[in-house]
Amino acid sequence: MTANGLSRSGLARGGWDALHLVQPDAWPYLPEDFREKYRSVWVDIPSSLYDPVREHEVYNDYLDQLEFAETVGFDGLGVNEHHANAYGLMPSPTLMAAALARRTSRAALVVLGSSIALYEPPIRVAEEFAMLDVISGGRLVAGFPVGTSMDTNYAYGRVPATLRERYAEAHDLIRRAWAADEPFVFNGRFTQLRYANCWPKPVQKPRPPIFIPGGGSVETYDFCIENDYNYSYLSFFGYLRAQKRTCTRRSRLPTC
């Protein structure tokens, strides 16, 4: 994925040549002196700088751009999740994807959230993603980000020391919920369910493709390699780092 939001991926619809447009939905009306008066656009930015009336137009402009992207040949339309953030006004990317599901017909819906470690219980993600896949006729690409510290630790109060363990447990629950044909008991450290029973189920079998967006941590690289997931690095040069890491783990690859 490049800095301007374009990504190419082998797991995308259409193979390695698939082209995606990822729209972060930034707030375009920050004051001219923002850099001088405020230390960050994230976490502690005052909400007095926000105007919901103007945001009505912004949300719809971004949706219009994503819908237009399909008409000019983009293979995937990307949305993502951020919190307490003026450059990413999508605390719920599934809402944006649901709107796109009804207004598009061909492009993949690339939801690069939800941040699965933030949901209690995480089976909610399995249900919402399944809904999107059904509504769109099997066009979902499911994103499972670990999440930035600004989102997970500061904005949502997750304990950093247990975040990855919580993430791994949520991942296992979602995958199992999609696959199971009968209700099952889930007894994890963070989530306990007497009846884990995902209705509806995704159209795509055995599951929708899974993308893992991230900023380059070795642990996330390894998680993607172990599960054969697409790693959506937040920079084009991440491809080179990912290739090096992959070659270290999989020396049999011809690209090595």
Q: Tens of pLDDT along 62-82?
A: 999 999 999 999 999 999 999
pLDDT given for residue 16 in this prediction: 40
Mean of pLDDT values over 119-146: 97
Which is nearest to 26 in space by CA: 76, 100, 79? Answer: 79
Distance CA 250, CA 256 (A): 8
Q: Tens of pLDDT along 23-60?
A: 678 899 999 999 999 999 999 999 999 999 999 999 99
The average confidence (pLDDT) of the chain is 87
Output the six-digit token pair for 173: 């629950």
Q: pTM (2 decimals)?
A: 0.86
Where is pLDDT greater, at 16 or 41?
Answer: 41
pLDDT given for residue 10 in this prediction: 36
237-253 exposure pattern, b = at least 16 Cβ within 10 A, e = fewer? ebbeebeebbeeeeeee
Distance CA 226, CA 67 (A): 34
Q: Tens of pLDDT along 209-219?
A: 999 998 888 88
CATH number of 6-249: 3.20.20.30
pLDDT given for residue 237 in this prediction: 67
pLDDT given for residue 234 in this prediction: 75
Q: Does an H or E element contain 110, and which?
A: strand 108-111
CB-based contacts of 158, cutoff 8 Å, min separation 6:
117, 118, 147, 152, 166
Q: Does an H or E element contain 193, and which?
A: strand 192-196
Which residues on adjacent β-strands are paired with residue 142? 111, 210
* pLDDT tops 90 at residue 244: no
Q: What are the residue ranges spanned by the domains of the chain? A: 6-249
